[in-house]
Amino acid sequence: MMKERILQIGKTGEESLPAITTMAGLQAWEVEYLGRKSELNTLLKSLRDLSPEEKKIVGPLGNSTKQKLIALFDTKKKKLLENSIDWQAEGVDITAPGAKVAIGHLNPLTQIEHEIQDIFTSMGFVVADGPEVETEHYNFDALNFPKDHPSRDMQDTFWIKPDKKAKERYLPRTHTSGVQVRYMEAHKPPLRIIVPGKVFRNEATDASHEHTFHQFECLMVDVEGQVTVATFKYVAETFFSAFFGEKVTVRLRPSFFPFTEPSFEFDISCIICGAHGCATCKHSGWLEIGGAGMVNQRVFEAAGYKRGQYQGFAWGFGMARLAMMKYKIADIRLLMSGDLRFIRQF
Ligand code: PHE
């Protein structure tokens, strides 16, 4: 009878397992009791020829026997795997905690960049970017640099070897200001953007100068009268206070940039000594941060806007300086040195 035969298979299957000691033995067992051509499988397939009453009894029995054998097989397989290596003989303590995998972390400059972006985006600014290899047009011409401006010459700019067929001269951008024009060509005011990015200058390096460094450009433009120097001062003070976690005051000094009019250098109250005077601020109470100004109408024109229609401010500063102030780092070159003894402190 079929019922008896199924019970028998279940029994011999179970009883023959303990004698198996190898994976190969277990595999042979699997073929015999659970394989496609096993007796149990053949019996299960022939169920369809039985009468409904017989099916009711034999069907569930066949299935539960199969499930039981599968469970036995799994347990046995696990046991064999565990025992396949004699851990004790190998001198391995399998209960010891695992070795920690070092996953690394972000460079302090990148951490600072993310922090700056968070503060600006919370003020409604959008992060924009542009190419690191820029055309002379965006890096200089559109920003109202006169043709013979000294910063175009070989002293500051790494020019890319000219290609005779190219219409334009290319250079690793010397600042992020060119992105102002690129962005304005594609967008109409009101607009608020920040542009974090790498810039390159042909400078001798020392404790506060790198030939490759990170700048932050900030641009806010709206119709005439909406964005003034006071707006700039407010946005800058709000940003620096959030960044340093204390009240920071911004001071403007007259300066010159071809792409802003009027132009300023701006300082922040010294966050090291609370503006009382210390070695870092050379006892002035102020720290130099960057350049800024009201966007020159010629830059608007280069971007395709009508003269006199819009007004806005732009400013740029080096990110490394902020990182150095926040973490009290004495030498800018450490940031890009790849020296793990330095990097691991952050
Ligand atoms: N691009 C200027 C620099 O690299 C900084 C700047 C940005 C000045 C925006 C004014 C406005 O020095």
Taking only the tens place, the pLDDT of each residue in 281-308 is 889 999 999 999 999 999 999 999 999 9
Q: From ligand 1's centre to the CA of 209, what distance in Å?
A: 16
| Whole-angstrom distance, CA of residue 292 vs CA of residue 276 | 25
Q: Is the CB of 135 under 6 A from ligand 1?
A: no
Q: How far is the CA of 172 from the centre of ligand 1 (A)?
A: 16
Which atom of ligand 1 sits closest to the CA of residue 174?
A: 4
- CA separation for the pair 2, 62 (Å, rounded): 9
pLDDT tens digits for range 168-191:
899 999 999 999 999 999 999 999
Residue pair 281/272 in contact (Cβ under 8 Å)? The answer is: yes
Q: Is the model's pTM score more than 0.85?
A: no
Q: Which of 58-72, 97-111, 307-321 has the lowest mean pLDDT?
A: 97-111
| Residue 143 in this model has a pLDDT that exceeds 80 | yes
The mean pLDDT of 85-101, rounded to a whole number, is: 83
The pLDDT value given to residue 262: 97
Arithmetic mean of pLDDT over the chain: 90
Q: What is the pLDDT of residues 186-228, one digit of tens each?
A: 999 999 999 999 999 988 888 778 888 899 999 999 999 999 9
The whole-number pLDDT of residue 155 equals 56
In short, whether 299's Cβ falls inside 6 Å of ligand 1 is no
Nearest residue CA, atom 10 of ligand 1?
292
Atom of ligand 1 nearest to the CA of 176: 1
Long-range pairs of 19-22 with CB within 8 A, sequence gap ≥ 24: 20/76, 20/80, 21/80, 22/80
* Residues 130-141: tens digit of each pLDDT: 999 999 999 999
Q: Tell me which DSSP letter residue 124 carries.
A: T
- The CB of 291 under 6 Å from ligand 1? The reply is yes
The Cα diameter of the chain in Å comes to 106
318 Cβ inside 6 Å of ligand 1: no
Q: What is the structure's pLDDT at 346?
A: 85
Inform me whether the pLDDT recorded for 152 exceeds 90.
no
Instruction: Please give the Cα distance from 117 to 168 (Å, whole number).
Output: 33
Q: How far is the CA of 294 from the centre of ligand 1 (A)?
A: 11
Residue-level pLDDT at 154? 54
Higher-confidence residue of 233 and 157: namely: 233
Choose the residue to mutate in 175, 211, 227 for probing ligand 1, maximizing ligand atoms within 8 Å of C-beta.
Answer: 175
Nearest-atom index, ligand 1, CA of 264: 10
Q: What is the pLDDT of residue 93?
A: 85
Residue 224 DSSP label: T
Q: Is 252's pLDDT higher than 90? A: yes
Q: What percent of the chain has pLDDT over 90?
A: 55
Lowest mean pLDDT among 57-66, 149-158, 256-265: 149-158
Backbone dihedral angles phi then psi of residue 323, each to the nearest 5 degrees: -60, -40
pLDDT of residue 326: 87
Residue 230 pLDDT greater than 90, yes or no: yes
| 28-37, 96-105, 153-162, 198-207: least confidently modelled range | 153-162
201 lines ligand 1 (CB under 6 A): no
* 9 in contact with ligand 1, CB cutoff 6 A: no
DSSP-assigned letter for residue 209: B
Ligand 1: atom nearest CA of 317 is 5
CA 282 to centroid of ligand 1, rounded, Å = 24
How high is the pLDDT of residue 332? 82
Q: What is the pLDDT confidence band of residue 279, given thresholds at 50, 70 and 90?
A: confident
Other C-beta atoms closer than 10 Å to the C-beta of 97 total: 6
Strand order across the beta sheet in which 286-295 lies: 126-127, 191-200, 212-223, 310-318, 286-295, 260-269, 250-257
